[in-house]
Amino acid sequence: MNWGKLAVAAVGAFVVIFVTEFVIHHVWLGEFYKAHAQWWRPEAEMNSLIHLMFLAQAIFAVLLSIVYAKGYEADKGGVGQGIRFGLLMGLLWMVPYSLMNFVIYPYPASLIMNWFVGGMIEFFLAGAVIGLLYRPAK
């Protein structure tokens, strides 16, 4: 495993995760969240905890990159392998997460579906970036 390239891939994945989370939750679903504010912490309270969100995103990016590097296939490397990885990891995470959220919380199916679609896009993009940036020396 190439630790330098792994670090670069993790930083790239973090940027993708950070940006897609912002787009999904502030741009795409922001108005929905405001209309259903009773379901969430007050904004000031969330803002006081935002460092934990960034930490979670960073840990997620590092772990995704490590899992990718451990399964890296040199003859299949690159963006294509990263996209396949992202789609599989997305399904691994988003299908059970979505189903469990639908069962546990009284959220409308449309919100769960939006989270699923947004999450799959996020995993797709993160996988593509990891595949692009993690290319060990031959």
Task: Count Cβ atoms within 10 A of the Cβ of residue 11 and give its class: 0-12 exposed, 13-18 middle, 19 or more buried.
Answer: middle
Dist. CA 117–CA 25, nearest whole Å = 12
Q: What is the pTM of this model?
A: 0.90
Residue-wise pLDDT tens digits, 8-66: 999 999 999 999 999 999 999 999 999 999 999 999 999 999 999 999 999 999 999 99
Dist. CA 1–CA 5, nearest whole Å = 9
Dist. CA 119–CA 8, nearest whole Å = 22
Dist. CA 135–CA 138, nearest whole Å = 9
DSSP H helical ranges for 77-108: 79-104
Q: Would you state the pLDDT for residue 2?
A: 86
Q: Domain extents for the chain? A: 3-133
Q: Which two tokens stand for residue 36?
A: 């259903």
Q: Which two tokens stand for residue 115?
A: 């989270």
Quickly state the pLDDT bin for 137 (edges 50, 70, 90). low
